[in-house]
Structure 1
Amino acid sequence: MERARVAVAGASGLIGSALVRSLAADGHHVVRLVRRSARGADEVCWDPENQYVDAAGLAGCDAVVNLAGAGVGDHRWTEAYKKKLRDSRVLGTAALAEALAGLDTPPRVFVSGSAIGFYGDTGDRTVNEDAPPGDGFLARLCVEWEEAAAPAQEAGVRTVFARTGLVVTRQGGAWGRLFPLFRAGLGGRLGDGRQYWSFIALHDEVAALRHLIDTDGLSGPVNLTAPEPLTNAQITAVMGRVLRRPTPLPVPAPVLRAALGEMAGDVLGSARVVPERLVESGFSFAFPGIEDALRAAL
């Protein structure tokens, strides 16, 4: 991609901050969406829950990437927190999509965040982007999240839904919590360990997002996961080997349900998701295997 002007919502988050660093390192002009008054030409004020965006600040952007949203694993899923999860994603995406649709010259691409939670519990069944949505709170949330981008699509903006898997990094997310446990010798499989985890190294996640920006033929849903999902038990064994720690302590399903509440269903659920459209479009993974991804994170 030639030097471009790229707006990023969620620029201070785990994935967003890594994407901003990558774009800036290659000389692209990054515009951050911020929840306060803009302090310069590289910031745009927005308030996602109140559906406000200073659309004028997005004029001239070649691409807009929306990675904003409250952390799924940050709190128990009370009704109030589920509302926050929904509003931060659905209302924010709708506000951005409407702002882009109203521009005289909209960006050529809108990459909007989503998640493999779209598919629900797939058991042992391998699913690609053609699979229908699953059941449960996360699946319903992902459907609404993607539907909120409709104004941009209808205005002719190439819109891509980045259905991200479990990002392997020690800086946050699921693995940010797992690494310290395993280092302390307290790691173990979750439940029976037979549930599939579809993971992706942070490096590959950022590279894939940039691939979505650059690849003109891509629109609609694209799974951002490594090529071969593994079971929780398989991943647990590799983590023990990489960190040189025993993994003798399985966490029983009832304990997880007591600790996590409704969210435990997604920890114990199985998501065997493959990145069919990403691979077909020519993307190459730097860290395709779990051991590669873990060592890169460490």
Structure 2
Amino acid sequence: MEASRIAVAGASGLIGTALVRSLTADGHEVVRLVRRTPRSDDEVEWDPERGYVDAVGLTGCDAVVNLAGAGIADRRWSDAYKRTIRESRLLGTATLAEAAATLERPPRVFLNGSAMGFYGDTGTRAVDESAPPGDGFLPSLCVEWEAAAAPAQEAGVRTVFARTGLVVAPKGGAWGRLFPLFKAGLGGKMGDGRQYWSYIALHDHVAALRFLIDSEALSGPFNLTAPEPLTNGEITAAMGRVLHRPTLFSVPAPVLKAALGEMASEVLGSQHVLPTRLLESGFTFAFPGIEEAIRAAQS
């Protein structure tokens, strides 16, 4: 892809930071959306709660990437925090989709974050992008989140949804909490360990986002997960092997439920999610296996 101008919301988050680094390293001009007065030419002000974005700053952007949203696992799910999680995604998506739709020269692509939480608890049943949404808070949120991009879609902007799995990274996300525990020899399975965890290496996640930005024929939902999901017990064992630490400890389900409340359902629930559309589109994973992904996060 030739050098492009790309706007990124959520540029300071785990995935956003890595994506911006990758894009700038390859010579692309990245415009970061910020919720304060811009301090440099590569920043554009926006306020999703007010439905505002400086559309002038988006002028000439070939792509708009929205990765913004309050952290799912940052704190216990009180009713108030669930509203924060929901509104941060819906308002941000609607604001950017509407801006993209009204620009004199709309972007070629609007790439919006989503999550594998769309499918809910699938048990041992493997699902791909053809599966319907599940039940519960996260599936309902994901349905609304993706629907909020309608203005861009209706304006003819190619719109892509990245349904993200558990990102294997040294800091941030689920693995940002797991690595210190396992390195200290305190790691172990959660619940009975039989629930599927659909993971993806941070490197592969960024590569998949760039693949989706560049591929003019691709639109709609794409699962960003490794080709072969594993159970929590299998991932626990792999963490022990790679980090050369025992994995004797386990966290019983009742303890997780007491500590995490409703959010425990995401840790104990099983999501066997396959990246069918990515694979069919020709994307190649650099770190498809869990041990490879763990080592890549440590390098």
Q: TM-score, normalised by structure 2?
A: 0.99
Establish whether residue 50 from structure 1 lines up as the match of residue 50 from structure 2.
Answer: yes
Paired AA for residue 219 in structure 1: S
Tell me which residue corresponds to 1:146: 146
CA distance in 1, matches of 2:114, 2:103: 24
Tell me which residue corresponds to 1:3: 3
CA distance in 1, matches of 2:170, 2:78: 26
Tell me which residue corresponds to 2:188: 188
Tell me which residue corresponds to 2:90: 90
Residue 221 of structure 1, CA deviation: 0.2
CA distance in 1, matches of 2:41, 2:177: 36
CA distance in 1, matches of 2:166, 2:7: 24
Tell me which residue corresponds to 1:288: 288
CA distance in 1, matches of 2:255, 2:136: 20
Tell me which residue corresponds to 1:274: 274
Tell me which residue corresponds to 1:206: 206
CA distance in 1, matches of 2:85, 2:49: 10
Q: TM-score, normalised by structure 1?
A: 0.99
Q: Write out aligned runs for 1:6-85 (5 A).
A: 6-85=6-85
Tell me which residue corresponds to 1:230: 230
CA distance in 1, matches of 2:89, 2:56: 22
CA distance in 2, matches of 1:238, 1:138: 28
Paired AA for residue 40 in structure 2: G
Paired AA for residue 126 in structure 2: T
Residue 37 of structure 1, CA deviation: 1.5
Residue 50 of structure 1, CA deviation: 2.1
Residue 54 of structure 1, CA deviation: 1.0
CA distance in 2, matches of 1:253, 1:161: 32
Residue 217 of structure 1, CA deviation: 1.1
Paired AA for residue 110 in structure 2: F
Establish whether residue 133 from structure 1 lines up as the match of residue 133 from structure 2.
Answer: yes
Structure 1 segments of 4+ aligned residues over 6 angstroms from their partners? none
Residue 59 of structure 1, CA deviation: 1.1
Tell me which residue corresponds to 2:220: 220
Tell me which residue corresponds to 1:177: 177
Residue 38 of structure 1, CA deviation: 2.0
Between Structure 1 and Structure 2, how many residues are aligned?
298
Task: Encode CA deviations 1:160-211: one digit per residue, 9 max, x unaligned.
Answer: 0000000001111000000111111111110011100000000000000000
Tell me which residue corresponds to 2:162: 162
Greater Cα shift, 44-53 or 99-108: 44-53
Task: Encode CA deviations 1:58-110: one digit per residue, 9 max, x unaligned.
Answer: 11000010000011110000011111101110110000001111111100000
Tell me which residue corresponds to 2:108: 108
Residue 55 of structure 1, CA deviation: 1.2
- Say which SS state the counterpart of residue 114 (structure 1) adopts: strand
CA distance in 1, matches of 2:16, 2:271: 24
Paired AA for residue 275 in structure 1: P
CA distance in 2, matches of 1:221, 1:263: 24
CA distance in 1, matches of 2:128, 2:105: 33
Residue 40 of structure 1, CA deviation: 3.3
RMSD of aligned residue pairs (Cα, Å): 0.7
CA distance in 2, matches of 1:113, 1:268: 23
